[in-house]
Structure 1
Amino acid sequence: MKKITPPYPDTPCVAVCSTTFDEICRGCGRTVDEVAQWVFMTQEEKNIVWDRILKEGYPRRNS
């Protein structure tokens, strides 16, 4: 997997959207609230989310 480093892409979305079993998207690793609020977040807030999801092994295209 290619390592993603700052500056990050505009969004971690990989078009594998699924929150069927919990509140975390199985594609990008964001919470339902983070997905909904993404366009309103500051770059600093987005970077915090990016750092967390990358540590957790997201984004995943084969979920």
Structure 2
Amino acid sequence: MGKSSQERPLSPCINLCRMDDDDRYCLGCFRTLDEIATWSDLDIEEKELVWQALDERRAKRA
């Protein structure tokens, strides 16, 4: 399972910004363009939901 919200960095961005071949998500942070664009407007609970989705995307990619 992934890290808890208290252990997570403020942003999933790792400064490796490149979309996958289908433009679904960033290969660095695994966020969609919508998630990247709205990140700063999300509250803690919404960010945690995105983090959970990122964990799932990362696991599928591995």
CA distance in 2, matches of 1:52, 1:5: 13
Scaled by the length of structure 2, what TM-score is found?
0.76
| Identity score, percent | 34
Query: Are 1:50 and 2:30 matched, yes or no?
Result: no
Distance between the aligned counterparts of 2:20 and 2:31, measured in 1? 13
How far the C-alpha of 1:20 sits from its partner, in A, is: 5.8
Q: TM-score under structure 1 normalisation?
A: 0.75
Alpha-carbon distance change, 19 to 51 in structure 1, aligned in 2, over 3 angstroms: same
Gaps (5+ residues) in structure 1?
A: 59-63
Structure-2 change in CA distance of 1:5 and 1:41 (3 Å): same
Structure with greater helix share of residues: 2
Cα distance in 2, alignment partners of residues 53 and 43 from structure 1 = 15
User: Please, which moves more after superposition, 11-20 or 34-43?
Assistant: 11-20
1:24 aligned residue: 25
- Name the stretch that deviates more: 24-33 or 3-12: 3-12
Q: Matched residues in 2 for 1:6 and 1:38: separation?
A: 15
Give me the CA root mean square deviation: 1.8
Higher RCO, Cα 8 Å, sep 6+: 1
